[in-house]
Amino acid sequence: MKKIYHGPTPSTGFFGQLRFLYVFACNQIKNIFSANLLLAIKRLEYLRVEDCSSLKEIVGGENEDEVSGDHSCLLPQLKTLELFKLDSLTSFYKGDIPISCPFEEIYVGGCRNLKKFPLAPQTASHLQTFEAETYWFDALEWTDQSHQAIFQPFFEKIQNPFGQIPTNFQSSS
């Protein structure tokens, strides 16, 4: 699979109802969402991306201009983000504008080339857990160094990044 969706901005039909997305072993995919697709996905709460060897960014497109300048509402209901074994992942999206999603849980493991993870400070108000490998968290290039101090209290060394599918994902339809 090379793309989750290709075409004009989709209606809110199927994509408008999407709450959970697990992308696994899609080795030809370069990005998960185009800017067009994001316009339709407003209810996504859980995103897990794992073992996609060619994935460069979570949000991207053919043109760098595709991703709008306002990233504050890219995924307005995304609570859980899990990124595992993504060796080619270099960014969440092109640019340094901080992401402001209502994250409650963030898990990152095996993403050694992901150097920037631009979280907005207000994201910390919802955050409960930020698990990652210690070396990765310590090496992150923050837009503002004070942001690392904001997220440090939530940081925990990841325990089992490549384990089973979380229970909340299994029980959803």
Look at residue 2 and tell me if it is in a domain. Answer: no
Residue pair 16/44 in contact (Cβ under 8 Å)? The answer is no
In sequence order, the 6+-apart residues with CB closer than 8 A to the CB of 47 are: 21, 32, 58, 75, 78, 80, 81, 82
The answer to whether residue 4 is domain-embedded is no
71 in a structural domain: yes
How many folded domains does the chain comprise?
1
| pLDDT score of 66 more than 80 | no
With respect to residue 128, please indicate whether it lies within any of the assigned structural domains: yes
Taking phi over 0 as left and psi of -120 to 50 as alpha, with beta for the rest, 41 belongs to beta
In a domain, 109, yes or no: yes
Given pLDDT bands bounded at 50, 70 and 90, which one contains residue 160? low
In a domain, 83, yes or no: yes
Residue 22 dihedral angles phi and psi, to the nearest 5°: -125, 115
Rounded mean pLDDT, 2-19: 78
Contact 92, 112 (CB under 8 A): no
What is the rounded average pLDDT for all residues in the chain? 83
Is residue 3 over pLDDT 90? no
Give 73's pLDDT tier (boundaries 50, 70, 90): low
User: Is residue 7 included in any domain, yes or no?
Assistant: no
Q: Is residue 113 part of a domain?
A: yes
pLDDT for the residue 34: 83
Dump pLDDT digits (tens) for 22-33: 999 999 999 998
pLDDT at position 171: 43
Q: Give φ, ψ of 103 to 5 degrees.
A: -55, 135
> Does residue 38 have a pLDDT over 50?
yes
Q: Structural domain of residue 18, as residue ranges?
A: 13-162
Q: What percent of the chain has pLDDT over 70?
A: 82
Across the range 44-58, mean pLDDT stands at: 95
Give ∠ CA 30-32-38 in degrees, rounded to 5.
135
pLDDT, position 69: 52
Q: What is the pTM of this model?
A: 0.86
Say if CB 151 and CB 130 are below 8 A apart. yes
